[in-house]
Structure 1
């Protein structure tokens, strides 16, 4: 799998912060975020189940620009059916 890195939380100087990538092979979005607390999980469960292989995460709104760029790249790649349509920086982690 080749991940294309689109950014980290711009207000975090630590190595452990929300991030977004695009999978160059599938055009799927990959998120690292904060685990939702029990209150948020309970509210999400009102709309459906959360299987053991899924989780609810929080992303800060200040990451909207990186997420938009990743979404645009993923949509271009999916529409083109080719990895070359994805634009980003290869992930280094």
Structure 2
């Protein structure tokens, strides 16, 4: 079972990279797919306090094996990384998260 941390009424899984609860608490929820039905997935966050600088986090649907194989042909994927699929209608949320992370990195 993967450890989790409470953030408001949301539960976020602790990443394989060993995030601490303090790091998880720095996440700012940007939004989720308004057409997902239950509002749980896909979703976007920004971590403005990451040790490596601002980062964008994305939750999405897991791709099928053929898609993973094609992605791996383009660039090897280490065990600590994953591939997710999100709908194009979420581009505005991704832009918002990227803009916020970029602004924070320029400070």
Shorter-chain TM range is: 0.7 to 0.9
Question: Is 1:51 the equivalent of 2:75?
Answer: no
Aligned to 1:22: 46
Provide runs of 4+ in structure 1 moved above 3 Å.
Answer: none
TM-score normalized by the length of structure 2: 0.70
Maintained 8 Å contact 1:10/1:62: no
- Distance in 1 between residues matched to 2:60 and 2:36, nearest whole Å: 12
| Higher RCO (CA-CA < 8 Å; seq separation 6+) | 1
What is the total number of aligned residue pairs between the two structures?
Answer: 80
Q: CA RMSD in A?
A: 1.1
Q: Which runs of 5+ in 2 are unaligned?
A: 1-22
Aligned to 1:61: 88
Aligned match for 1:13, one of 7, 16, 37: 37
Aligned to 1:3: 27
Q: Which runs of 5+ in 1 are unaligned?
A: 81-93
Maintained 8 Å contact 2:30/2:96: yes
Aligned to 1:71: 98
